[in-house]
């Protein structure tokens, strides 16, 4: 509990700075911060009631809620975060209570079943990041323009109307403009490009060259 509480306090302290630098958070970011500060509330609950098992149950619910929100937005049961469901009963095992572990196991299984059902009946939102679209775009060897990107997106099962709406989101434009501004200030005119220490490296380089550049940068810092 102590390490999580320290992390929670750090997240709580960093939240105003994050807002000042990032602007209005997305729904997923709000959920992430809420989960990070949950240990503060759990510690308060434990100190007021002394119910150790109850605190572990609430911790399992908080973790399950966080995993479900992120998984639902990033591909359902196939999301990278869905595997974290196994952590729920493992964390509950620290309570040394069979009832708490049984509850956590049932909760994790229920979450997995719900994600599978939502995916099967196409009730999940479009993922924030689509691995299928990413792979299809990387595999395409011709010229990419807006129409071709939309055509490829439809081909991997993405809703065209929703994608076009998302592409016009002012927040997306703000992120792209910020990235373009950073690239311009660094002199980046194409990809790949690397910034290693204080050195800008344009174009593709092999692994051995990268290792040498990183080693030189580390020597300079020493």
* Tens digits of residue pLDDT in 41-61: 888 898 899 999 999 999 999
Which residue ranges make up each domain of the chain?
A: 2-120
CA distances from 8 to 11, 26, 58 (A): 5, 19, 16
pLDDT at 109: 97
How far apart, in whole angstroms, are the C-alpha atoms of residue 198 and residue 147?
Answer: 39
29 bridge partner residues: none
What pLDDT is stored for residue 167 in this prediction?
A: 84
DSSP string for 139-199: H--S---HHHHHHHHHHTT--HHHHHHHHT-HHHHHHHHHHHHHHHHHT--SSSEEEETTE
The fraction of the chain above a pLDDT of 70, given in percent, is 95
pLDDT digits 0-9 by tens, 88-111:
999 999 889 999 999 999 999 999
Nearest-angstrom CA–CA distance, 153 and 150 = 5
pLDDT of residue 11: 74
The Cα–Cα gap between 111 and 86 comes to 11
Q: Provide the pLDDT confidence category of residue 3 given band limits of 50, 70 and 90.
A: low
Q: How confident is the model at residue 218 (pLDDT cuts 50, 70, 90)?
A: confident
Q: What is the pTM of this model?
A: 0.60
Specify the residue for token string 């992390």.
7
- In the prediction, which pLDDT does 126 show? 64
Q: Strand 193-196 relative to strand 199-202: parallel, antiparallel, unpaired?
A: antiparallel
- Residue-averaged pLDDT of the chain: 86
pLDDT in tens, 101-159: 999 999 999 999 999 999 888 788 766 667 778 888 889 988 889 999 999 989 988 88
């Amino acid at each position: 509990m102590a390490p999580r509480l320290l992390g929670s306090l750090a997240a709580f302290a960093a939240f105003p700075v994050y807002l000042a630098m990032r602007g209005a958070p997305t729904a997923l970011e709000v959920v992430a911060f809420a989960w990070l500060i949950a240990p503060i509330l759990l510690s308060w609950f434990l100190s007021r009631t002394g119910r150790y098992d109850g605190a572990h149950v609430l911790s399992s619910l908080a973790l399950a809620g966080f995993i479900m929100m992120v998984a639902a937005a990033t591909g359902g049961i196939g999301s990278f975060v869905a595997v974290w469901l196994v952590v729920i009963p493992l964390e509950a095992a620290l309570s040394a209570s069979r009832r708490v572990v049984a509850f956590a196991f049932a909760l994790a299984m229920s979450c997995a079943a719900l994600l599978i059902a939502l995916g099967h009946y196409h009730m999940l939102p479009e993922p924030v990041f689509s691995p299928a679209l990413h792979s299809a775009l990387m595999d395409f060897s011709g010229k990419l323009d807006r129409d071709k990107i939309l055509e490829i997106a439809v081909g991997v099962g993405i809703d065209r109307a929703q994608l076009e709406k998302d592409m016009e989101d002012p927040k997306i434009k703000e992120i792209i403009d910020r990235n373009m501004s950073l690239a311009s200030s660094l002199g980046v005119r194409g990809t790949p490009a690397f910034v290693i220490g204080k050195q800008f490296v344009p174009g593709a380089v092999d692994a051995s060259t990268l290792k040498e550049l990183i080693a030189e940068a580390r020597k300079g810092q020493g």
